[in-house]
Each structure stands twice: as structure tokens, then as C-alpha cells.
Amino acid sequence: MSENVSLKEKLVSYNIRVNIINGVFAAITFNLVNPYLAKFAERLGATDYQIAYLTSFPFFISIFAYIPGAILIESLSDKKKTTAVTMFIHKLFYLFLALLPFLKGINQASVFVILIGLMNLPGAIATMGYQSSIGDVFKIEDRGNAMGLRNKYSTIFALAVTFISGQLLTHIPKTNQDSIRLYQIFFVSAFLFSLGEIISFLKFRGMRSKKKTTRYLDSLKITIKNLPKERNFIVFTLISAFFYIGWMGAQPLFNIYTIKVLGANEFWLSAISIAGSLSSILSFTRWARYADKKGNNFALGIALIGMAITPIFYVISTNIFMLVLFNIVIGISVAGTNLILFNMLLEVTPSINRTIYIAVYNTITAIVSAVAPIMGVAIKDMTNIAIALIVIAILRFIASIMFISRGIVREKN
């Protein structure tokens, strides 16, 4: 008995280490390019709405990915290999982005937005496969610690990569064309680092291949039929969808305010990202412990109150240095939101047909996320960017109250 317990502990420890390594490679890949996508789009001549489409179009594409992706992942015998293949296809798009500036006679900003959107087709499937796999690899009592450690160490590397890339983008290029060339090098480097992410994912243990005894489409029909009975899942999904209006609706506004109002270059973009990363490093494991003590609903509600204050920080920032300082506080809230929201998703999804439930959740939030950024820019155009940010803050605050209320109701029941 004790030997079996020891083997289980060793397996958990092993998978936690693999999860950390996987997170580190994912963070390096992501932070080589993603903090600067809006700035790169601006250098290609993007408009405010094209910057908004950078957020909304990937989610629009993912609407058509989640349910078919769930069918793909669950219908094949090896979930791990299927997920790894979709990860590789997703990362190939970094090479396409690197080639884009060589294409002349086209609207490069529009093609860039389209590629970022299409990239999310395999990306959404890969993310869902990873989420479902983590649900298989770690039991509920181990997930908070596993994801907290992953996020903590990956953020350290994210901070270092963002600092180095920001310095390079600030000091090496002399012209706009020089900056674009350096971005191309970053896109290729991101692809190379992403191979480590894929390889490490394949190292997970505990995801055994299973022979299907029933057709997956039949399982899909059964899940949809039983969906109304999963009250916790439904309530969580609806509240999350409401929160995503305020979460994703703010993204283009933050980019526009930072780049076009405050005039941030790559140096300041990296400084903002680093400020948020520093506070995230210190808070990930603390959020995990706080959620274990107070409950996920209450902890997420507190994190979302911080998220609600974030747009106000942007409104009162009269210079870029103020925004950098505010992002130290913002990073704490973002860390809690990302960690707890993911853990709660795994908590409310049944173990049977988990991938389908995650697909349903992701599809609903993707629909909201596709519309919200355009809505945010539309509110800005009808009023001004300050009012639009205040509206976003109110929506986020309401979402925090809804999650806290959900927790209170569950405790009473």
C-alpha cells in the first residue's frame, strides 16, 4: 500500500516537473512576440479596428474549432499525440508570420490580422487538448499546486525574455524597416522554442490510450442531452461569458491607449509586461493557497475586483511611467484570474466527456470574445476612450460580484 502511494507521489512530482518545463517553453515562445503584436501591426500600418481584430478574429475562428476539435481529440486513440500534432501546426504559423514582410503589393496589416486569426484554429484545439490532458494527469487536490508552480516559473522566464526582446527592439533597429526585420527573427526563434513545448508535452505520464467502445458522436449527443442537468457547469459558463465581455472588450482599448495615446514604443511595452510579470511571480502560489482556504469562487471574485480597477488605472495614467507602476498591481489580479478560472473550469466539468464540456465552454466564451473587442472600440468611437474604459470597469466589477454570489449560494446549498 505504502509502495503504491510512493509511486503515485513520484508520478505527481514527475508530471509537475514536466508541466513546469512545458510552461517555460510556452512562456518563451509567447513572450518573444505576443507583447508586441499590436505594435508590429501598427508598424505595418494597422488602424484602430485592425488592432481590435487582432483580439476578436482569433476568437471568431476558434468558435469553429472547439467542437470539431473535441471530436478529433476524443475520437482518436491517443489524445497526447493528437494534441501534439495540432500544437505543431499552430506553431508553424510563426514561420508564415516571418515571411509576411517579404510579400509586396498587399495590405500587410490585413494579412497579418488574418494569419493571427487562422493561427488560432489549430491553437484553440491544442489549448483544449492541453486543458483536458491536465484534467487527466492531475487530480483535483494536485492541480492548484501544479498550475501555480507552472505559472510561477514560466513567468520568471517570460519576464527575462520580455526584457531582452524589449531591449533588442529598442536599441538595435534604426528605422521602421529594421524593427520589422528583427520581428521576423523573433518569429523564427519563437517557432524553434515552441518545439521544446511540444516535446515536453509528450513527456507527460498518465494519459493512457484507450480503445473507443462507443462512437464519439454518440458521446457528443449524450453530453448535449445531459448538459441541462449540469447546473454548476452552466452557471459557471454563463458568468464567465459575462466576464469575458469586460475582459476581451478591454484588450484593444489597452493597446490603443498605450501605443497611440501614451506613445509607447517596444521598450515601454516590455517594461509594462515586466512590471506585471514581477508581481505575478510573487502571487501565483499565494493565489493557489488563498483559493484553497477561501474557495475558488470567493478568490476569483477578489481577483476580478482587481481586474475591474485595471481600466481605471489606464484612465488616470497621464504618462507611460505611471502605467508601468500600475501594472505591478494589475499583474497580481491577472495572475489570480488566469490560475483560478482554469482550475474552476476543471472543477465544474464532469470527468466523463470532459473534453466536450471544455469545448462547449470555450465555444461560448469565444463567441463573446469575438464580439467584445469590436464593441469596446465602437463605444470608444461613440464617446471617448476614457468613457469606454470606465464602462469596461463596471462590467468587470459586476462579474466579480456574480462569482462571489455563486460561491455564497453553493455554500448554503
CA distances from 79 to 119, 195, 327, 338, 350 (A): 21, 18, 38, 24, 18
Q: Which amino acid is it at 58?
A: P
Pair 226, 349: CB distance under 8 Å: no
Q: Which amino acid is at 401?
A: I
The answer to whether the beta carbons of residues 304 and 399 sit under 8 Å apart is: yes
323 DSSP 8-state letter: H
pLDDT band at residue 208 using 50, 70 and 90 as cut-offs: low
Name the grid cell of 156: 520568471
Q: How does pLDDT run across 49-69, given as a tens digit for each residue?
A: 888 888 888 888 888 888 888
Distance in angstroms (rounded) separating the CA atoms of residues 382 and 370: 20
Instruction: Give the gyration radius of the chain's Cα atoms.
Output: 21
* Joined grid coordinates for residue 152: 510561477
Asked if CATH classification 3.30.70.260 holds for the domain at 2-206+214-412, the reply, yes or no, is no
For the chain, which residues make up each domain, given as ranges?
2-206+214-412
Distance CA 33, CA 183 (A): 8
- Structure confidence by residue, pLDDT tens digits, 259-282: 888 988 888 888 888 888 788 777
Percent of the chain with pLDDT over 90: 33
User: Which has the closest alpha carbon to 326: 338, 302, 309?
Assistant: 309
**Which has more pLDDT, 23 or 362?**
23
401 or 411, greater pLDDT:
401
Number of alpha helices (DSSP H) and beta strands (DSSP E) in the chain? 15, 0
Q: Kindly provide the b/e burial profile for residues 402-411, where b requires at least 16 CB atoms within 10 angstroms of the residue's own CB.
A: bbbebbeeee
Give me the mean pLDDT over the 180-190 stretch: 93
pLDDT, one tens digit per residue, over 22-43 is 999 999 999 898 888 888 888 8
pLDDT band for position 411 (50/70/90)?
Answer: low
Q: Return the pLDDT at 388.
A: 95
H helices present in 64-208, as ranges: 66-75, 79-99, 108-137, 140-171, 176-201
